[in-house]
Homo-oligomer: A and B are copies of this chain.
Amino acid sequence: MNLKNPARQAPITTADKIFETMQHEIVEGEILAGSKISEPELAKKYQVSRSTLREALNRLEKCHLIERKANVGSRVVECSVQGLLEIYQVREALEGMACRLAAQNMQDDEIAELQQVLNAHGNEQQLKDGIAYYQEEGDLDFHYRVILGSHNEQLIKILCGELYHLVRMYRCQFGMNSPRATRAYDEHKAIMYAIADRDGELAEMLMRRHIAASRKNIENKLEKESE
């Protein structure tokens, strides 16, 4: 079950469906990171023509999941620690700005909804304490709403359309199950208050620290694993 993604429309054409299928398989690692994409092979696998498959590949490239070279072909992106670090740096900058704009541009009812979402997560969290998956969905949900609250189409397009699935891919492949759930939840609340107070500067700083903390947490974990 896919969680709702406000930036995507329902799949219309068959290329849409192949795109979504492959996107899912790459994110989940069923198609291995770094592996070569063979157009004839996959066209046969999904029972479509190469034209349709190539259309799907173009969209996968748009969301940074594969890379193409002229006359050579496509490869699934590699998931490196360096790459993870880079993604988080981009997110820190963009979501920080989104948060500042959200404090400036969100409607009152949007803020009320954001608060309700957080409350719901708080209640759920006590029930399902320790079950990380829900927290992750809740985390994505919160970040999504803030990004949408920026009311900046470019920002939304980049974060929700072009970077979102790459972030998910890293989460899956590095097996991140949000080990700082309660802390993250409190940080979300602090961000929400800053937005409600229309304090854009503080909201941006809190969001940046929140993402940076998440990044450091992952770095520490990977470092510990490699020992």
Contact = CB atoms under 8 A, between A and B. Distances in A.
Contacts of A55: 58
Chain A interface category by residue count: 20 to 34
Contacts of A158: 90, 158
Contacts of A92: 97
A117 B96 CA distance: 31
Interface stretch (A149-157, A174-182, A219-227): A149-157
Contacts of A94: 90, 93-94
Nearest to A90: B154
Nearest to A98: B93
Given A87-B154, A97-B89, A61 B62 contact: yes
A70 interface: yes
A64 interface: yes
Nearest to A51: B51
A86 B154 contact: yes
A169 interface: no
